[in-house]
A = this chain, B = another copy of it.
């Protein structure tokens, strides 16, 4: 089987990116350049550039060409960042990951809602029992990268700072500890899919960009689930890292 021409051209462009000939934010050769350089038809040149876009390596900007993606992904060290020495000392659990980068939390909204069935099942509350819902968006170096929604049983957190936008030093986990529900164990479940229209809008996702979903559940020493946190991440913006022993 001979590799189609557009794939050979795409492979050459990928090699050039890997070699640093085109850096983040650089404009790639246009259709006319590729037609001249490789002696191919416009459709072939377009397909080659399409490969890089569909793989998330490049993005088209209207009328300006196709550019190497700029975002260098944020490395998220789940196990280290959720260690008690982080939030137990009053640091944000995010501090571990975002050295030298500008991370802003916006669109914070806290309210009370009846629990969806899937959330009620994990938190072991009655279906439609009231839960505290904390929504926020994370913006890294000016680009929205994650939508995060936490659910906690109202029965546990009513009246506490967890029900207010600013939860104070150490955040939600430090406050859960204050309330006698210290998280000592976490489960993270990771999936990936194409984004919904709402996610495309809120995360300003270019075409060909999936989302990674991380659903974290926090458990107390008694084994009770006290928080479910559903995160939706721009897959291009994150590398999730887990380090553990055999």
Contact = CB atoms under 8 A, between A and B. Distances in A.
Interface of A: 7, 51, 54-56, 73, 75, 78-79, 82-84, 173, 182-197, 208-212, 235-236, 238-246
Contact of A193 (B56, B84, B242, B245): B56
Given A210-B210, A235-B210, A241-B189, A83 B246 contact: yes
> What's the number of copies of this chain in the assembled complex?
2
A186 to B, nearest CB: 6
A238 B244 CA distance: 20
Contacts of A241: 187-190
Contacts of A192: 192, 210-212, 235
A210 B186 CA distance: 26
A89 to B, nearest CB: 13
A184 B246 contact: yes
Nearest to A193: B56
Given A210-B210, A210-B235, A235-B210, A243 B193 contact: no
Contacts of A82: 244, 246
A54 B210 CA distance: 10
A193 B212 contact: no
A118 to B, nearest CB: 9
Given A194-B54, A210-B210, A244-B244, A189 B79 contact: no
A75 B83 CA distance: 24
B239 A191 contact: yes
Residue among A82, A240, A242 having the largest count of chain B Cβ atoms under 10 Å: A242
Contact of A210 (B182, B188, B194, B196): B194
Contact of A242 (B184, B187, B195, B239): B187
Contacts of A185: 243-246
A186 B235 contact: no
A11 to B, nearest CB: 10
A24 to B, nearest CB: 16
Nearest to A198: B7
Contacts of A243: 185-188
B186 A240 contact: no
